Amino acid sequence: MSALAVRGLRVSFDHPLGLVRAVDDVSFDLRPNERFGLVGESGSGKSTMALAIMRMIRPPGHIDGGDILLGGKNLATLSAEDVRQTRLAGIAMVPQGSMNALNPVMRVGDQVADAMRDHDKKPVGIGALMARVGLPAGTADKYPHELSGGMKQRVCIAIAMCLRPTVIIADEPTSALDVVVQRQVMRTLADVQRDLNAAILLIGHDMGLMAQFVDRLGVMYAGRLVEIAPIAEIVRRPRHPYTEMLIASLPSMDHKDALRGIPGLAPLLRDLPSGCAFHPRCPKAQDRCAIERPEPREVESGVLVRCHFA
């Protein structure tokens, strides 16, 4: 059974100029102990999806449909109180920019204790928790401003793991950190995952990071999942034209390319192109692409693509 199964999730926002479809019929499985990556540009809907899974979407946003199955329970239909209890205990999240969201007037150890108390657990073992995320002794008594960015991020990871959830969602956990600290934090995340036997959903836009960290990768474009495959497959042979161009647009350290970007602009989520959302920018687009929306097809075992020509 999957640790987390998302089926046909749809999230939209009410905007005076039109309905914004942030997440449009997204389905994927997160297997136990797996590292699953979700990559996409800003505006592709990936952060919204993370929030939707945690049932943290507020008006004018709403979940329009779909199931979010966490080990048998459907988070989409659970009552508010049950969802609150599941958060952190069953599924935890390290949100984007969380290191800047730590309470500046509380010691970080107390903030972890706070989370535990909220779930009726005794706030014990915080020192050990800090050590497990690689923080030096005495960190629990410090205030956020006394810690570096990498250390703050690791505190957030400690908060996310304190109740031993089965799934951890990390939304751009290292975007504000430099490469050296990034590696340390990702290493911590990997250790935590092994420690808890948990599954990790890593959301980001850095393909290099995904290639080095995750087992399977999902690619999002304009609110839709356009490709899901094991990471080795995606690196070796990306099937969707967007995935291909995304990998090509990243600078490598091996050879100097003529710097290649993806022409055109990402579409506005409230004004999506007809048919396949990528067709205006796709070099392989044909007439069919503007009319018919591609459905996910399993082109090989474990490789799903939304493209008419994959």
Partner 1 sequence: MTAPLLQADCVSRTYGGGLLGAHTLALDGFSLSIGTGKPSITAVVGESGSGKTTLARVLLGLTTPTSGTVRYRGEDITRLSREARRAYRTDIQAIFQDPYGVFNPFYRVDHVLTTPVRKFGLASSRAEGRELIEQALRTVGLRPEEILGRYPHQLSGGQRQRTMVARALLLKPKIIIADEPVSMVDASLRATILGSLRRLTDEFGISILYITHDLATAWQVSDNIIVMYRATAVEAGSAETVVKSPAHPYTRLLVGSIPQVSLTRDWLSTEADAQRPGDRDAACRFADRCVSAMAVCRSERPLLSRIGPRHAAACHLHRQHAQLAAEDLNDVLA
Partner 2 sequence: MLRYLKRNPSLAVGIGLLSVLVLFLLVGMVLIDPEDARPLSAPALRPPSWAYPFGTDRQGRDLFAAMVVGTPLTLRIGFIAGILGVVIGTILAFVAGFYRGIVDTLIRGIADIGLTVPGLLILIIIAVSVRGGLTVNQMALVVASLAWLNPTRTIRSQVLTLRERGYVEVARLSGMNGPEIIFFEMIPNLLPYLGATLVNAVSAAILASIGLEVLGLGPLEAPTLGMTLYWVNFNAAIINGWWWWWTAPIAIILIVFLGLFFMTVGLDEIANPRLRRSV
Q: Which of 146, 257, 292, 300 binds partner 1 (CB under 8 A)?
A: 257
What character string, x for contact with partner 1 (CB under 8 A) and - otherwise, covers 152-171?
A: --------------------
Is residue 97 part of the contact set for partner 2 (CB under 8 A)? no
Choose the stretch contacting partner 2; rule: CB under 8 A; options: 7-15, 75-83, 194-202, 250-258: 7-15
Q: Out of 18, 60, 65, 302, point to the residue binding partner 2 (CB under 8 A).
A: 60
The smaller minimum CB distance to partner 1, of residues 1 and 259, is found at 259
Nearer to partner 2, 29 or 64 (CB): 64
Selected from 17, 105, 128, 265, the binder of partner 1 by CB under 8 A is: 265
Q: Beta-carbon neighbour count of residue 215 at 10 Å?
A: 15
Partner whose binding site includes residue 80, from partner 1, partner 2, none (CB under 5 to 8 Å by kind): none
CA 10 to CA 52: how far, in whole Å? Answer: 9
Give how far Cα 283 sits from Cα of 111, 241, 242, 244, 310, Å.
50, 8, 10, 11, 13
Is residue 15 a contact residue for partner 2 (CB under 8 A)? yes
Cα first-last separation, the chain:
29
Does 250 bind partner 1 (CB under 8 A)? Our answer is yes
Residue 116 or 140 having the CB closest to partner 1 = 140
Residue 227's DSSP bridge partners are 219, 305
Spatial separation of the C-alpha atoms in residues 181 and 197, rounded to whole Å: 24
Q: Which residues contact 234 (CB under 8 A, 6 or more apart)?
A: 217, 219, 227, 243, 247
- Binding window for partner 1 (CB under 8 A); candidates: 21-29, 60-68, 85-93, 176-184: 176-184
With CB under 8 A as the contact rule, which of the stretches 12-20, 97-105, 133-141, 162-170 interacts with partner 2?
12-20
Q: Which helix (H) or strand (E) holds 91?
A: strand 91-94
Half-sphere exposure of 93 (CA within 13 A, CB side): 20
Distance (Å) of CA 49 to CA 40, 41, 91: 12, 14, 14
Residues found near partner 2 in the complex (CB under 8 A): 13-16, 60
